[in-house]
Amino acid sequence: MLADTYYLNNGYPMPKVGLGVYKITEEEMEKAVNAALESGYRAFDTAYFYKNEIALGNALKKADIPRSDLFITSKIWNDYQGYDKTIEFFTKSIENLGTDYLDLFLIHWPCEADNLFIETYKAMEKLYKEGRIRAIGVCNFKQHHLETLMAETEITPAVNQIEVHPYFSQHELQAYCDDNDIAVTAWMPLMRNQGLLDHPVITDIANRYGKTPAQVVLRWHLAHNRLIIPKSKTPERIKENYDIFDFTLELRDIAEIDNLNRNDRQSKDPDKVRIGDLK
């Protein structure tokens, strides 16, 4: 339905809420995927680096959902950037997942100092033109990375997947992406909790709406036109994270959450990530 679908800059539909499967093991995957599918999810976000593409592919195959109803995202890891390696590891990813195409393929980190992300993206453009990927994009790109990329390639990224949460709202980067029709996907949308969901502003709003703090934060992301991929392996939490389409936040509540921003990045600064890092 329209409420839970975002149309990317090439017109391709992407669910607004997907399940992030980072750190979900092979033993845990089937239970998590089944809980997600039963709750309404159809988008699943993995990466070669997560070492669970095979487990995700097997779980989806067992669930017997038509491939056309699913939206599968994977990413090219830093160590495999470059034109030829991108094609090689894209092929490995789709073999792992048991599919002949990806809905979305992303560069995991810019690794700008290694000067390879342009060639990586050009390989992705080739795969996109061949129909093997429905949309291409990036992760963890700052504005200057995007400017460099778009100056030297043909296709504007459909998605920039970045760390965003109420303590690190990245308003300027969000505005730049909005202006250039690049959808922002929030990874770590709940800041892995880290105390965020106990903040009195969040809990007070949650009490007023009869929702959980996590649901309020996720709805805040949607209010800012973001896509979200909350990660969980717990069936109850997976269901809770999807059950957010029956309410909207008032503007004053959105503004209250906006005011929590501390520019508090939890992950690595993308300018400092190089090939070989983040093992």
Residue 2 clears pLDDT 60, i.e. is over it: no
CA gap 265, 164 in Å, rounded: 8
**pLDDT, tens digit (0-9, with 9 covering 90-100), for 121-131:** 999 999 999 99
Within 13 A of 42's CA, how many CA atoms are on the CB side? 17
Using a 10 angstrom Cβ sphere, with 0-12 exposed, 13-18 middle and 19 or more buried, the burial of residue 272 is exposed
CA gap 273, 113 in Å, rounded: 8
pLDDT computed for residue 279 by the predictor: 65
Residue 185 clears pLDDT 90, i.e. is over it: yes
CA gap 61, 55 in Å, rounded: 10
pTM for this prediction: 0.96
Can you say how many angstroms the Cα of residue 73 is from the centroid of all Cα atoms in its chain?
Answer: 8
Q: What is the CA radius of gyration of the chain?
A: 18
Query: Which of 107-126 are b and which e, b meaning 16 or more Cβ less than 10 Å from the residue's Cβ?
Result: bbbbbbebebbebbbebbee
**pLDDT, tens digit (0-9, with 9 covering 90-100), for 57-109:** 999 999 989 999 999 999 999 999 999 999 999 999 999 999 999 999 999 99
Does the active-site annotation cover 50? yes
Mean pLDDT score of the chain, rounded to an integer?
96
CB 62 within 8 A of CB 30: yes
Name the residue with tokens 């973001």: 226
Q: In terms of Cα–Cα distance, which of 13, 145, 96 is closest to 161?
A: 145
Helices (H), the chain: 26-39, 53-63, 83-97, 117-129, 143-152, 171-179, 200-209, 213-223, 235-242, 251-258
Q: In terms of Cα–Cα distance, which of 55, 93, 95 is closest to 73?
A: 93
CA gap 196, 203 in Å, rounded: 10
pLDDT computed for residue 1 by the predictor: 45
User: Per-residue confidence at 276, pLDDT binned at 50, 70, 90?
Assistant: confident
Collapsing DSSP to helix, strand or coil, 7 comes out as strand
Domains of the chain: residue spans and CATH: 2-263 (3.20.20.100)
**pLDDT, tens digit (0-9, with 9 covering 90-100), for 164-184:** 999 999 999 999 999 999 999
CA gap 4, 77 in Å, rounded: 29
**pLDDT, tens digit (0-9, with 9 covering 90-100), for 213-241:** 999 999 999 999 999 999 999 999 999 99
Which residue out of 50, 80, 121, 242 is catalytically annotated? 50
Tokens coding 228: 């979200």
CA gap 180, 124 in Å, rounded: 19
Q: Mean per-residue pLDDT for 135-160?
A: 98
What sign does the CA torsion over 52, 146, 42, 163 have?
A: positive
Name the residue with tokens 């795969």: 127
Q: In terms of Cα–Cα distance, which of 147, 133, 146 is closest to 100?
A: 133
Contacts of 179 (CB under 8 A, 6+ apart): none
pLDDT computed for residue 3 by the predictor: 64
**pLDDT, tens digit (0-9, with 9 covering 90-100), for 259-275:** 999 999 999 999 999 99
User: Per-residue confidence at 39, pLDDT binned at 50, 70, 90?
Assistant: very high
Tokens coding 114: 């290694």
